[in-house]
Amino acid sequence: MSPDRRTLLCAGLGATAALASPIGPLTTPARGAAPERPPINGDVSGDADARAAVSADFGRIVRAQPQMVVRPKSSADIAKVMQWAASRKLKVAARGHGHSIYGRPLAEDGVVIDMTSIDAIADSGPDMTTVGATGQTGRTRIVAGAGATWSDILDAALARGLTPPVLTNYLGLTVGGTIAIGGIGASSSRYGLQTDNVLELQVATCDGRELTCSPTRNADLFDAARAGLGQCGIITRATLYLVRAPERVRRWQLYYPDLASLTSDQQRVLSEGRFDQLQGAVLPDGNGGWRYQLDGAIFYDGDPPDQNAAVVGLSDIRSAAQIVDLSYREDAHAFAKIEALRRSRGHWSNPQPWLFTFLPTSSAEQVAQEIIGKLTGDDIGPFGRITFYPLRSEAFRSPLVRMPEETTAFVFNVVRIPASDDASRIERMIADNRAIYERIRDAGGVLYPVSALPMSPDDWQRHFGPAWPRLRDAKRRYDPNNLLTPGYNVIQA
Ligand SMILES: Cc1cc2nc3c(=O)[nH]c(=O)nc-3n(C[C@H](O)[C@H](O)[C@H](O)COP(=O)(O)OP(=O)(O)OC[C@H]3O[C@@H](n4cnc5c(N)ncnc54)[C@H](O)[C@@H]3O)c2cc1C
């Protein structure tokens, strides 16, 4: 989908006007004939409400209305729909829970496949191979439909005392939706991205095939499906590694007077491996300034770790430190409280022009300081934050994941949660995101593709850099007509 075919809600065309725009019910039928529909067992709907429900995503910035919404009963249904759509040159997008920010799961005039019906989870026996993030043997795996959420998977794994090594902060995301992008979480320094912890995928392609892929089978598709922005196939099933779950988590939130002291301590605790999870943020203080936060956690069973040993020698404002003890499950679901608060204040349903990036460690503090210096609390919103913390990028091994060319990098996310849906303001924030992205790119940083900013095919080619030929070649092989996941605008229409 070229950007001009999508409606930018912030460009003055409000949701109501876009929803009211008349689009035919299904693919144009011959006079008197029933509307055409793909031959599947699942549901196919051309109903205005069904189409409207999938014509925007969580970001509420871009709108594009499909001709039909498919709710498949099986992966075979998905493959059939894709073949059917390909023979008609219709665009196709898979949709998890639509938590994208900038129209990525939309398909103007095309077919949206609602993956949430493909959510079965099955246990699998122990995996005795040594492939995987940690090279451990004897780990266990789980097989999940791509529409299952990470919350579903965590529940199933915890019932066996296990957990996925990397959980996203928000567990309402789908397996297929994060594997298509990367899937970063607080344990990524140790285990990489969720894409690094996949043993095998089943992928449906535009020619109607369902292919099993892994490092040793259809490896080109395996590499293109993981963090390939849904360009080469629709993931229908994933076999994922699990590791032993700790019983409990002790979490330290430390506060600093400035970015320099935060950055210095973050690097220190990362290099010393003090915490099992390390994150951090720059938060609006409500008085026009910022609070600088380090957030570290240690897993434990039995007695908790000493509360002073983990923070000895750090330069935080110790009187402001907060320590909490939670069960592993409570900790994994901690974001639900933030979600409830944002919902109760109405901020959850405003447009969300987020920008997610990685900065090289060598310039992270300087570039972040420069960007933060130009932002105000209003640019972020009272519940927004600038996520800022270092991680070991060595753990990131999926070929299409881009990281700065250093062994460690800093996550730098501008999580804007505006207090209003004022269109001109949102438009300014998106333009600002683009300017910030260019500054970061010039400094050797890279985009994490969950971001609200216009990206051209040339931008994507530059983003993927040396990995571009791998994605381009797989795209030619598995989606030669460029029909899949048009919302990214990766290939010129
Ligand atoms: C509140 C919130 C918190 C978040 N926290 C994190 C976080 O901690 N870490 C992180 O990495 N990300 C995070 N994200 C971003 C998240 O990874 C993306 O929004 C992603 O889109 C997943 O959401 P989803 O499963 O609803 O997928 P969707 O938004 O529905 O889809 C995402 C993209 O993947 C494609 N897609 C979906 N399913 C498939 C499939 N089965 N096969 C192929 N392509 C598919 C879609 O077409 C679309 O392009 C967060 C987002 C939100 C809104």
Distance CA 386, CA 370 (A): 13
Ramachandran quadrant class, 402 (left: phi over 0; alpha: psi -120 to 50; beta: rest): beta
Is residue 18 over pLDDT 70?
no
Q: Note the pLDDT of residue 463.
A: 98
The number of angstroms, rounded, from the C-alpha of 433 to the middle of its chain's C-alpha atoms is 17
Residue minimizing CA distance to atom 52 of ligand 1: 99
6 — pLDDT class (breaks 50, 70, 90):
low
Of 205-219, 258-272, 409-423, the poorest mean pLDDT is in: 409-423
Average pLDDT over residues 96-109: 97
Kindly give the distance from the C-alpha atom of residue 13 to the centroid of ligand 1, in angstroms, as a whole number: 25
Residue 26 has pLDDT above 90, yes or no: no
From CA 294, how far away is CA 66, in angstroms rounded? 43
Residues 267-288, mean pLDDT to the nearest whole number: 95
Per-residue pLDDT for 16 more than 90?
A: no
Residues in the chain: 493
Average pLDDT over residues 133-161: 84
Would you place residue 31 in the very low, low, confident or very high pLDDT band (cuts 50, 70, 90)? low
Take atom 48 of ligand 1 and give the residue whose Cα is closest.
105
Each residue's pLDDT tens digit, 45-58: 999 999 999 999 99
Backbone angles phi, psi at 300, to 5 degrees: -155, 160
What value, to the nearest 5°, has the Cα angle with vertex 444 and ends 438 and 450? 60
pLDDT of 349: 85
Which pLDDT does position 126 carry in this prediction? 56
User: How much distance in Å is there from the Cα of 485 to the middle of ligand 1?
Assistant: 13
What mean pLDDT value characterizes the chain? 90
> Which of 101, 178, 187, 413 for mutating ligand 1's site (highest number of atoms within 8 Å of CB)?
178
Range of weakest confidence among 1-15, 143-157, 278-292, 375-389: 1-15
Cα 333 to Cα 326: distance, rounded to the nearest angstrom: 10
140 has a pLDDT exceeding 90: no
For residue 105 the two structure tokens come to 């799961």
**Edge-to-edge strand order for the sheet containing 322-327?**
322-327, 248-256, 290-300, 277-284, 385-392, 408-415, 355-360, 446-447
322-to-65, 252, 386 alpha-carbon distances in Å: 46, 6, 20
Model confidence at 136: pLDDT above 50? no
Rounded distance between C-alpha atoms, residue 147 and residue 133, angstroms: 23
Phi, psi at 355, each rounded to 5°: -130, 125
CA 411–ligand 1 middle distance (angstroms): 18
- Please give the average per-residue pLDDT across 354-359, as a whole number: 98
| Contact predicate 67/19, CB 8 Å | no
Mean pLDDT computed over 304-308: 95
Cα–Cα distance measured from residue 314 to residue 89, given in angstroms and rounded to the nearest whole number: 59
80 CA to middle of ligand 1, Å? 24
End-to-end CA distance of the chain: give it in Å, rounded.
6
Residue 359 has pLDDT above 70, yes or no: yes
**Positive or negative CA dihedral for 176, 100, 16, 25?**
negative
Cα radius of gyration rounded to whole Å, the chain: 22
How many angstroms separate the alpha carbon of residue 98 from the centre of ligand 1?
Answer: 7
Distances in whole angstroms, Cα of residue 298 to Cα of each of 10, 191, 256: 42, 15, 20
Distance CA 181, CA 184 (A): 9
- φ and ψ of 491, to 5 deg: -115, 140
Distance (Å, rounded) from C-alpha 85 to C-alpha 2? 19
pLDDT (0 to 100) of residue 139: 60
Read off the pLDDT band of 21 (50, 70, 90). Answer: very low
DSSP 376-413: -HHHH-TT-EEEEEEEEGGG---TT----SSSEEEEEE
Pairing of β 408-415 and β 43-45: unpaired
Query: What are the beta bridge partners of residue 121?
Result: 144
Return phi, psi of residue 205, to 5°: -115, 170
| Euclidean distance between CA atoms 173 and 152, whole angstroms | 10
Residue that the structure tokens 């987020």 belong to? 354
How confident is the model at residue 374, as a pLDDT? Answer: 95
What single DSSP character describes residue 305? P
Q: Which region among 155-169, 336-350, 462-476 has the lowest average model confidence (pLDDT)?
A: 336-350
Q: What percent of the chain has pLDDT over 70?
A: 89
Residue 394 alpha carbon to ligand 1 centre in Å: 23
By the 8 A CB rule, do 90 and 441 touch? no
Determine the pLDDT at residue 132.
Answer: 38
Any idea what DSSP says for residue 184?
-
Mutate which of 55, 95, 347 for ligand 1? The one with the most ligand atoms within 8 Å of its CB, which is 95
With contact defined as beta carbons under 8 Å apart, do 254 and 281 qualify? no
Do the beta carbons of residue 165 and residue 241 sit within 8 Å? yes
Chain position carrying tokens 């535009």 = 206
- Average pLDDT of the residues in 364-393: 94
Say what the pLDDT of residue 35 is.
60
Average pLDDT over residues 354-383: 95
Q: pLDDT class for 337, splitting at 50, 70, 90?
A: confident
Residue 414 has pLDDT above 80, yes or no: yes
pLDDT for res 114 = 98
pLDDT at 449: 95
Per-residue confidence band for 33, with pLDDT thresholds at 50, 70 and 90: low
Q: How far apart are CA 104 and CA 109, in angstroms?
A: 14
CA 153, chain centre distance (Å): 16
Give me ligand 1 centre to Cα 305, in Å. 34
* Probe residue for ligand 1, chosen from 1, 6, 100 as the CB with the greatest number of ligand atoms within 8 Å: 100
Q: Report whether 131 contacts 138 (CB < 8 A).
A: no
Share of the chain above pLDDT 90, in %: 82
Q: Are 157 and 163 in contact (CB under 8 A)?
A: yes
Atom 21, ligand 1: which residue's CA is nearest? 100
Name the closest-CA residue to atom 36, ligand 1. Answer: 177
Ligand 1 shell residues, CB under 6 Å: 57-58, 93-100, 104-105, 115, 146, 168-170, 173-174, 176-178, 180-185, 230, 234-235, 450, 485, 487
- Report how far ligand 1's centroid is from the alpha carbon of 236 (Å): 15
Q: What angle do CA 31, 112, 456 make, to 5 degrees?
A: 110
What's the rounded Cα separation, in Å, for the pair 462 and 445? 12
- 3-class state of residue 287 by DSSP: coil
